[in-house]
Amino acid sequence: MCYFGGMPRQKMPVDITDLTNPGLYVNRELALLEFNRRVLAQAQDEDLPLLERLRFLCIASSVLDEFFEIRVAGLKQQEAYGSAQRGPDNMSPTEQLGQIGERARELAEMRYDVFNNDLLPKLNLQGIRILDTQDWNEKQAQWLKRYFNRELVPILSPVGLDPAHPFPEPLNKNLTFIITLQGDDAFGRKSGKAVLQAPRALPRVVRLPDSCAQGPNDFVLLSSIIQAHVGDLFRGMQTTGCYAFRVTRNSDLFVDEEEVDDLLRALEGELSSRHYGDAVRLEVSEDCPAELSAFLASQFRVSREDLYYCSGPVNMMRLAAIPDLVERSDLKFPGFSPGLPKSVATGVDLFASIRSGDILLHHPFESFVPVVEFLRQAAVDDSVVSIRQTLYRTGVDSAVVQALLDAANNGKEVMVVIELRARFDEEANIELATLLQNAGAQVVYGVVHHKTHAKMSMVIRREGRTLRRYVHLGTGNYHARTARAYTDYGMFTCDPEIGEDVQEIFSQLTTMGRAGRLKKLLQSPFTLHRSMLEFIDFEINEAEQGRPAWIRAKMNSLIEPQIIQRLYRASQAGVKVDLVVRGVCSLRPGVKGVSNNIRVRSIVGRFLEHTRLFAFGNAGSPRVFLSSADWMGRNFFNRVETCFPLEDDEIRARVMQEFDYYMLDNTQAWLMQSDGSYRKVAQGKQRKRTAQLQLLQELSEEGTL
């Protein structure tokens, strides 16, 4: 099934001999919207459990929100400043914004159509009801009236609009109402309009109690409660209309790192501005009169193209509370317990296990607990003298952080590199940095102009007369919650050369010296990009000599133009290139004479695909790497990233077999077309193959689901 009809596409090139031809590149922003469409397709998939479909609908809404907050906001700034900057596709900011508007509007219409005409009726049939005002019986109406007076009235603060009360600035993405009024207030004012912000502390979904509900899962949205009773807030006046709206703002933070002495304090000062950045999108309920919508647009200084009408809740992400509130296992994905290999089982001496050989874990199919246990054992081991750790996204209350705190309190030398600029986690990371410093850990914030995105943990242990380094390297963050939702690899090793490389990278992050040569790891911004190009060139040479040559890679995004051009050259030389790219892919596969030998597929399933794997044929002795980096310019040139080799034969073979599972997936896979669209893989008469399910069956504790 294909979910991509009627969208304008960039024209294909006539001259395909020039590999820099803009027609050979898919625009990054439009590719991201295509990913959003694939997520939305999960909400349409009737083979998925009903509450999971609702969850995917909410995820699609959230992904689109961030797209406007960051990507659209950036384009609008470029347009405002008259920027001539263009990407490999050669689209101007104005051209991109035009196409984004068309596709984003279409996605919004699809989202509400799925919710109103598909999910909502099916939820009702299952006894999960979202009751609108007209659905309330007398008993429910009375309870909701009492709820409004008890829980809402004390904290709701409507603002009447007049010269003394100018239009307030609603918080970014916050539920807000524009209210029309008739009559005079207590002071004889006739403003005719008021604005009411719903405090963020209020739940957006309210479950009706057993005393008045007709079933265990009757819910009412906060917006419905407010709209039904808003007149009570304006005594002596008549409320003639109440319409929900939401404004999305520019949420990118700007800190001039060359002009600040303390990055932490500078970021603290910028965080509040995220709530009140320039408006980039205005969403209003579809029943809002045109003149009132125009009034709102003028207040936020947005154009008509930035105005979106919503035929349902203006913030669908808030509906994500419902699957968590409803105890219906038959309407959710089956539960599972991540596998725990014997070598890392609870109670095992992890350092002894690592000395016996490298250990690979594939989350969430296999447990994240050994990663935490690695640090816990280090925190209480008298032989451990030092722990070094990078943290990008983790959360203050995480078990990883607690283990580091325990280690510091036990007198270990603990050094933590915290990336303060991890988008939308800045505030949590500032709190985390303060917490660790207060415990006696040494905390550094990485390198100016280069985000520290590498995932590294190193324990230095005294064993006899020597110091041995034990290392964990991963493709994902040290975050136990996302380790249950994202697919990521993590590897334990005490290989001396890898340990030396990791120590060298930590030294780069904490000192001002020049980068030393690494023995086994590849690193951004120094060697990773160059090495990837060299490995591709080797395959090109093999193919040109008539020998078998192949490249297999899995990542979140493929954007960097030099890599894409080299992959085109590889395809032209006859190299077989298989790519699994979850999200944005700017490369066009299947273009005659350019990319005939390149296949690109995207897997969208229960878990967010997050592993990065790069493999090259290497004349029969495959090179296989795992990495924290995608093939994007920012990962190659503006971040500190690691890419580590798999040298154990069994581990290397296992990872390549698991890659094959993704290439054979005919259930959750999408094939990218040369025009940038995607087609769902047709199962046909083949037996059903689902990579994530197969990995659950092989690696989880259940064995079979």
- Catalogue the active-site residues: 453
By the 10 Å C-beta count (0-12 exposed, 13-18 middle, 19+ buried), 652 is classed as middle
The DSSP bridge partners found for residue 457 are 389, 472
Question: Which residues are within 8 A (CB) of 436 and not within 5 positions of it... i.e. 6 or more apart?
Answer: 401, 404, 405, 408, 414, 416, 418, 443
In this structure, the number of other CB atoms found within 10 A of the CB of residue 99 comes to 18
What DSSP character marks residue 520?
S
- Distance (Å, rounded) from C-alpha 256 to C-alpha 401? 29
The strand pairing partners of 524, in sequence order, are: 641
The Cα 459–Cα 492 span in angstroms is 11
User: Cα separations (Å) of 551 from 95, 122, 213, 645?
Assistant: 34, 45, 58, 15
Q: Please name the residue that has the structure tokens 């502390």.
A: 201
Q: Quote the strand ranges of 301-363, DSSP E.
A: 307-310, 359-363
Token pair for residue 654? 């296992």
- The DSSP-derived string for 158-169 is -EE-BTTBPPP-
Three-class DSSP category at 185:
coil
CB 435 within 8 A of CB 401: yes
The answer to whether 249 and 277 have CB atoms below 8 angstroms apart is yes
Of 153, 436, 173, 159, the residue nearest 279 (C-alpha): 173
Instruction: Kindly calculate the radius of gyration of the chain based on its CA atoms and give it in whole angstroms.
Output: 27
Q: Which two tokens stand for residue 52?
A: 């999971």
Task: Give the list of residues 6+ apart from residue 123 with CB closer than 8 angstroms, or none.
Answer: 50, 54, 129, 130
Tokens read off for 25: 């590149």
Residue 362 to residues 365, 374, 485, 650: CA-CA distances in angstroms? 6, 16, 12, 14
Q: Burial level of 120, CB count in 10 A (0-12/13-18/19+)?
A: middle
C-alpha span between 576 and 597 (Å, rounded): 5
**Residue 158 token pair:** 């409507």
Residue 476 to residue 667: CA distance in whole angstroms:
25
Structure tokens at 254: 């700007």
Do the beta carbons of residue 647 and residue 461 sit within 8 Å? no
> Interhelix angle for 50-66 vs 28-44, to 10°?
160
- 178 token code pair: 């524009």
SS3 241: strand
Angle at 440 between CA 434 and CA 441, to 5 degrees: 75
Residue with tokens 């409803």: 326
Identify the DSSP state of 218: E
> What is the Cα 513 distance to its own chain's centre?
34
Using alpha carbons, select from 579, 678, 601, 640 the residue that is nearest to residue 444: 640
Strand partners, 576: 550
